[in-house]
Amino acid sequence: MQYNVQAPLNVAASTLEELEHRVRDDLACLCYPPANWVETTDGAEKVHDVVIIGGGMCGLVAGFSLLAGGIRNIRIFDRSPEGFEGPWLTYARMETLRSPKQLTGPAYGIASLTFRSWYVAQFGNDAWAEMDKIPRPMWMDYLRWYRKVLSLPVENNIEVKSILPEGPLMRLTLAGSGAKEATILARKIVMATGRDGMGHPNIPDFVAGLDRKFWAHSSDAIDFQALRSKRVVVVGVGASAVDNAAEALEAGAKEVRHLIRRKEMPQINKLMGIGSFGFTAAFSKLDDARRWQIMNYSLRTQTPAPRGSTLRVSRHDNAYFHFNAGVKSVEQSGDELIITTQDGSRLVTDFLILGTGFTVDPLARKELEAYADKILLWRDCYTPPAGEENKELGNHPYLSADFSFREKEAGTAPWLANIYSFNAGAAASLGKLSGDIPGISEGAAILAREIAARLYQENFEQHWQALLDYSTPELQGDEWKASPLPDAEQIQSQQAEEV
């Protein structure tokens, strides 16, 4: 099915309107949203209970989960224009999602909020049965609808520049055309910042010093039309590498060559084979050795690009897959690049695309730079057995079970417990609960429950006083009549009668 994100859906509005009525009815049955129960902590300045950084899929479901838990004093910021949050219409270039269409994603256990309900309301059950995978732009339209139907308070064109402790609170510095304040105060901060939300694009050293016009990372805004009739090399063969290769080929590139350091194509998505409610529930409770064992194995075997994406490349006669061809060096020669591979082979090309993914590196996050070195990392806590070393995995933050950061040295940065890494950086500690479609609702439920517990504990004295002060009677006093106890003679007389 072809799907044009720029065109409005050409369907009867009444079907979607009916679904939206169903959503509102479902929410009413679930008493959503409940009254706010969190104690106000405002002083001279308003204090927000939770600020969520990121209004993409993770930020939306995180916001919904907090509102559903009666935590209503929240704000959600996203630096992108409305409707373009997340990667779906920017650097994501696959035709369809990898995830099976039936996964419930951010629906949070509510059937009417699933992608399936949204799709069937517009295209019908027959179209649903025929569809293989979800078109990527259509997923973005679904998320736009999800935000609208739930009235989630996302504020766009706002970037959080820094997060600094201020007593028991956190002060956020804001920038961007959507920012109404220069700074705000918050008790808790959720970094729902997606795939690159706890690091940055992985840029190999071999491009250092090269003119930027000759290369790009797969997450960059690439002018593919400018690659028409050009020779293109793509480093890597993961999903992003393959998708960018396909874009270049479809734009009319003269040739596209994948340079792949592996000896053979990855073919099995290992984590997909073991996904279950048990895996999701148990992962954070496993010891460090077992969590490392699972994540290290997954990273080393590598998740393959989807079959459809790979066929999208290989159907072109001018596409080439070169294995055992890791890049050793790249030199600029006039308007060409000369690439030398690990085996000494040389290749000349016009443009280089790095399909090298993202790296997790809390030290690189500008928002946290004043104290990022105080964040506890996996490399600080666990030394793997010989042969199981993994620098990338060691750079992941070693999170608490509620997604919050931990201090490398006790007492040096206690405010880190107020910042929650609800993004790809949580994978080593909690599994795939805060970035991928399969476990996102379960992750949001854990996040909301744990934040609620912390907020309640921090204001226990106020909640205790509220218990003491509560005086609304259930009974009015006219529901009963007091009766005197019988005296001894009455009891003896009654016993005699019974005999």
pLDDT, one tens digit per residue, over 342-400 is 999 999 999 999 999 988 888 888 899 999 999 999 999 999 999 999 999 999 999 99
Q: How far apart are CA 7 and CA 439, in angstroms?
A: 31
- H or E element that contains 445: helix 440-458
What does DSSP say about strands 255-259 and 231-235: parallel, antiparallel, or unpaired?
Answer: parallel
Instruction: Assess contact for 449 and 220: CB atoms under 8 A.
Output: no
Q: What is the pLDDT of residue 489?
A: 79
Would you say the CATH fold of 203-267+304-356 matches that of 13-199+360-458? yes
Distances (CA, A) of 199 to 103, 189, 222, 323, 377: 27, 17, 21, 28, 13
Instruction: Assess contact for 3 and 137: CB atoms under 8 A.
Output: yes
Q: Which fold has domain 203-267+304-356?
A: FAD/NAD(P)-binding domain (3.50.50)
What does DSSP say about strands 183-191 and 199-201: parallel, antiparallel, or unpaired?
Answer: unpaired
Given the candidates 3.30.70.1710, 3.40.50.920, 3.50.50.60, 3.60.70.12, the CATH classification of the domain at 13-199+360-458 is 3.50.50.60
Domain residue spans in the chain? 13-199+360-458, 203-267+304-356
**Global pTM value:** 0.91
In the predicted structure, residue 7 carries a pLDDT above the cut 60 = no
pLDDT in tens, 436-452: 898 999 999 999 999 99
